[in-house]
Structure 1
Amino acid sequence: MKKAAVALAFALPLLLFGFLKPAFAHNKAEVGDLELVGGWGIEPPLIGQLNTIVIQVTTISDDKPVTNAFASASVVVKKGGVQKELALRPAEQAGWYEAEIIPTQLGQYAVAFTGSINQQQVNTQIELEDVEDSKKLNFPEAGSDPGQGIPEGFIEQMRAVLTDLTVQIEDANNSAQDANDVARNAAESASETRGAADRAFMVGIVGVGVGVAGIAIAAIALSRKA
C-alpha cells in the first residue's frame, strides 16, 4: 500500500501537468499514410509580430516522424490570393519543421503542400489560426500616460539623428558657399580676360590705322617726286 501511495504521489503531478499544458490550435490533413499537422509557433498570432509556422509530418501506420520531408515538395503560406514560399528548416524534434514569418494582415492564413513527401504525392492545405490585432494584449494602452510608453533610448536616438542632420546641413552650406566662390572667381577671371582682349583689339585697330596712314604718306611723297 505504501509503495502504491508513493507511486501515486509521483504520478499525480505528471498527470496534472499533462492536463494543464497549453493546447495549440493546430490543424491537420491526412494524405495516404501521411499526417500533416500545422500551426503557429506562438499563439495567438499577432499582426506585425515575429512568429513561426510549424509543421509536423508523421506516418499514420506507425506514427513515426518523417525526416527530410520537403526535399521534393513545395510549401507555401497563403493569405487570400497572395502566397509566399516557406523556407522550412528542420526543428530540434524529429519530424517537425519551422519557418519564420511576420504576419502583416488580420484574418486566416493557410499552408499549402504540393509535390512528393515520403514517396507519397500530396496536394492539400492546412488552415491556420486567425491572426489577431495586438491591441487586445497591449498594456498599458499606448498614449494613456504621456510620460510612459516611450521606448528606452528613443530620445537619445532622436538626438543623434538631429545632430547628424545638422552636420549634413552645415556641410551642404559650406559646399554651396565654396561653389559660389568658385563661380564668382571664374566670372571675375572671364571679365578680366574680356577686358584684356578688348584692349588688345583697340591696340590692333590703332596699329592698322597708323600703318594705313604711313602708306598714304609714302604714296604722296612718291607722287611729288615724280
Structure 2
Amino acid sequence: MKIVVFGIIGLLFSIGMIAPSFAHTTVHVEQYEIEAGWGIEPPVVGIRNEFMLKIIERGEKEGTFSGVTSAFKNVDVTAMFGGATKKIDINSDPRPGYYFSPVIPTKTGTYMIELKGEIRGVPVDIKIPIEDVEPTAVLDFPPSKGEGAADVASLKTAVSSLQQDVSKLKSGETEVASDGGAAYDFAIFGLSIAAAAIILSIIALVKRK
C-alpha cells in the first residue's frame, strides 16, 4: 500500500499536478541563513521522508544569494524527538547549499534538528523545530470514521446486554442451579469476565484512534 502511495506522489510531482510546500523554519547565524524542514509535507507517521536543510549566504544585491557548499564538514546534526536523539548523516543535494537526510518518522508530534560545530569558521549551536508529524488520517481516503462509529455502536450494544443480564440475575428472573451461592458466584464471575472484555475493547479502540 505504501509503495502505491509513493508511486502516486511521484507521478503527481513528475507531471506537475502538485508542488512541494515549504513550511520550513529559517534561522540566522551571522551571515548565514539556515533553513530546515521536511522533504514531503505534510509529514506523515510511518511514511518515508527526508530532513531537508538549506544553508545560504545573501549577496550584496537584494534577492541574490549563494549556496554554502561542504557546510557540514565540521557540523554534527542530531534529530530530536522528546527525549530521543539520533545523529544523522547529511547528504548533499545537486543544488549548492541544499542537503537532505532520509528518515521514516515513527511518532506523531514535534521534531527538532540540532546543529553543532562551525561553518567556515562561524560557530553554530542551534536547535530548529520543524513541522509536526501527523497521523495517517491526513492521507486516508475514504475516511475511516465510519468503522469507528460501528465499533462504538457494537460496544454500546454489548454493554446494554450485560446490564440487562445483571439486572435479570439480581431480580431472580434468570435461574441458577440449585447449589445456591456457588452457582450465583459462578454466574457473577462470568459476567465479570464479559465486562472486562468490553473494557479491553474500549481501551483498544481508544488507542487505535
Q: What interval of TM-score do these two structures reach, taking the shorter chain for normalisation?
A: 0.5 to 0.7
SS at match of 1:71: coil
Q: Deviations over 1:100-140 (max 9, x none)?
A: 00111111101110001122110012110000001232113
- 5+ residue gaps, structure 1, are 1-19, 146-226
TM-score normalised by structure 1 residue count: 0.52
In structure 2, C-alpha distance between the alignment counterparts of 1:121 and 1:56, rounded to whole Å: 17
Identify which of 33, 54, 57 aligns with 1:59. Answer: 57
* Equivalence map 1:89-108=2 (5 Å): 89-108=91-110
Q: What is residue 133 of structure 2 aligned with on the other side?
A: 131
Q: 1:64-213 to 2 correspondence within 5 Å? A: 64-141=66-143
- Measured in 2, the distance between the counterparts of 1:30 and 1:135 equals 35
TM norm structure 2:
0.56
Is the Cα–Cα contact under 8 Å of residues 68 and 97 in structure 2 kept in the other structure?
yes
Superposition misfits of 4+ residues, deviation over 4 angstroms: 141-145
Contact 1:66 1:118 in 2 (8 A): no
SS at match of 1:36: strand
Structure 1 SS opposite 2:33? strand
Letter of the 1:112 counterpart: E
Give the CA RMSD over aligned residues: 2.2
Letter in 1 for 2:46: G
Contact 1:107-1:130 within 8 A present in 2 as well: yes
Amino acid in structure 2 at the alignment position of 1:52: E
Gaps of 5+ in 2: 1-17, 148-209
Deviation for aligned residue 1:60: 3.2
d(CA) in 1 for partners of 2:69, 2:34: 13
The code of the aligned residue for 2:130 comes to L
Work out whether 1:39 is the aligned partner of 2:37.
Answer: yes
2:195 aligned partner: none
Larger radius of gyration: 1
Structure having the larger proportion of residues in helix: 1
Q: Offset of 1:24 from its aligned partner?
A: 1.1
* Aligned length in residues: 126
Shift of residue 64, structure 1, vs aligned partner: 1.2
| Cα distance, 1:23 vs structure 2 | 3.8
Does the 8 A contact of 2:21 with 2:41 survive in 1? no
Could you report, residue by residue, the CA deviation over 1:33-72 in whole angstroms, capped at 9, with x for unpaired residues?
1110010000000001100011001113552111010001
Distance 1:61 1:123, change over 3 A: farther
Given candidates 23, 26, 29, the residue that maps to 2:24 is 26
